[in-house]
Amino acid sequence: MEFLKTLKQNKERIICAYIFVLVYFGIDRTIEYATDSYAALMMDDNWKVKVYDNGRVLQGLLYYVIEQFHLSAGLKYQISYLTAFLFLGLSVYFLSSVIKKYVKGDTLSVFIAFITIVNPFFVDFFLFIEKGMFCFVIFLNVFAFSLTAELFTNEDSRQKTYTAKKKAILSVIVLVSLLISVLMYQTLISLYVVLCIVVIALNTEKFIQKNIYIGFMYAIPMLVAFLLARFVYPVERLSQRESLKEAALAVFDSIEGISMEEFSYLGKGSFGVWLLILAIIVILFLALCEKCRLKHFLCIGYMTLGCVVISFAVIFFNNSDVSPRVIYSYGSLFGMILVYVLGQSQNDISRGRASNAIKIFSYLLIASLLLTEYTVFQKCFIERYRCNQADLYLCNIIGEKIKEYEHETGNTIDTLCYYSDMARCWQDSGYEKTTTSVRAQATGWSRTYSLNYYLGTQYKEGEPDPKLLDYFKGINWDTYSDEQLIFDGNILHICIY
């Protein structure tokens, strides 16, 4: 009864959250494939890759369990999609429940929660077949944050209603949630830290104790994951920067590139424009504050620095590429600052035109983010479907050529050897130069799996012929040609254009 009462009281925010998810991600309900998806669907013992190559122990266990059921690709995808839909909506709702305590308005709290979780870097998670797992991990971090915010609120109140036992139980639940999160996907725990920073800034009582608490909640799961990756399941992908200078430069170059250049699926300077609008909001807020201006300045600086540090920690310590998934929590900066500014404006700024200016720029930022994300996300999904059709078409052509050869010669192809021409294309002409439209035949981890998936075959890869390596390097194609296929007994030599 209590659960149903809660649903009834919050039905507006729940409905609004799921409408957002449906509008932005409803188009992705039909199966689509990243290059990694072919390996995930066709590779035997793919769970070992998740454990030994990526250090994601619980993700590997999940893969192992799924593999035992021998589900069809379509069913796997639909389960993953529905899981993502469910937990993404719950994440937005849970976060809006906390935001509502500081920002007036059910609908506005959902809007801010949505741009914080589904930020400009989020779509990358939805472009993999593991989208259900990603959204579940995001939910774990939002859930852990909501419990932490509850603990902090109780500690700050004059009448502390939680016993030591209850606080210990809640802390254990937070820690377990974060540990599961890290063992499924390591970097998303940064979202928990980023969200907690906002609550600390909004109420700075026991500032040091709260930061120590969050530090432990972050460090313990990450330490467990590191020890497992280093000593129990040695992970090959662990690689450190050579010096602190190199690490710092990598972070600054990353921030500059994200803000000023094209990054991932965003247009050139898009992120920088949003940062500029955010800066205008902050400047207006600080200029119009009637009290505690220095405190607000320090709190906003604390949130910004904390977000940057925790979001780029992986880039600083690990010699890894900058991808939207790695620095995902950096995209939540806009929601963080808006919660603080709008929450504090209600108390420290008198109503009038000045106060309305802050709201206007805040709404402008929210609208700009929502509109751009919708346009970019839909474009990504459509581009992915187009690319999948091109991959299917090429695989069918190769399959027909194999059938013709086998019919004419009586030989049976069982081995594929790959080569590259003078300048291999990652994307076909007419496609965006992003990871969304990378051809399945262009990557080493998907070329054979995609053929086997679409053709229903079990081809294996062989070693390339050195003479053909030199031969194909002297030719440059920009589209498919029958000359890219050379048959030799039971072997098909394929040049990737």
Sign of CA dihedral 11, 92, 50, 446: positive
Tell me the C-alpha distance between 447 and 84, whole Å.
27
CA nearest neighbour of 303 among 149, 198, 196 = 198
For residue 237, the model assigns a pLDDT of: 58
Query: Burial of 348 by CB count in 10 Å (0-12 exposed, 13-18 middle, 19+ buried)?
Result: middle
Tell me the C-alpha distance between 401 and 271, whole Å.
47
For residue 52, the model assigns a pLDDT of: 63
For residue 64, the model assigns a pLDDT of: 86
CA nearest neighbour of 172 among 144, 210, 192, 149 = 144
For residue 235, the model assigns a pLDDT of: 65
Contact between 223 and 198 (Cβ < 8 Å): no
CA nearest neighbour of 315 among 257, 355, 385, 383 = 257
Contact between 494 and 472 (Cβ < 8 Å): no
Question: Would you state the torsion angle of the CA atoms of residues 190, 195, 199, 202, taken in this order, to the nearest 10 degrees?
Answer: 110
Strand partners, 495: 419
Contact between 360 and 342 (Cβ < 8 Å): no
Tell me the C-alpha distance between 484 and 80, whole Å.
37
- The CA distances from residue 360 to 2, 87, 342, 353, 461, in Å, are 38, 31, 11, 10, 59
Query: In tens digits, what is the pLDDT along the chain, a chain of 497 residues?
Result: 566 777 788 889 999 999 999 999 999 999 999 998 998 888 777 776 666 667 788 888 888 888 888 889 999 999 999 999 999 999 999 999 999 999 988 899 999 999 999 999 999 999 999 999 999 999 999 999 999 999 998 876 666 678 888 999 999 999 999 999 999 998 899 999 999 999 999 999 999 999 999 999 999 999 998 888 777 776 655 566 667 777 788 888 888 888 887 787 888 889 999 999 999 999 999 998 878 899 999 999 999 999 999 999 888 877 777 888 889 999 999 999 999 999 998 776 666 666 788 999 999 999 999 999 999 999 999 999 999 999 999 999 999 999 999 999 999 999 999 999 999 899 988 888 888 889 999 999 999 999 999 999 999 999 999 999 999 999 999 899 999 999 999 999 999 99
DSSP 8-state symbol, 267: P
- DSSP letters spanning 81-93: HHHHHHHHHHHHH
- DSSP letters spanning 216-231: HHHHHHHHHHHHIIII
Count the alpha carbons within 13 Å of 252 in the hemisphere toward its beta carbon.
6
For residue 42, the model assigns a pLDDT of: 83
Consecutive H or E run containing 486: strand 485-488
Consecutive H or E run containing 485: strand 485-488
Domain ranges for the chain, please list them. 2-349, 383-496
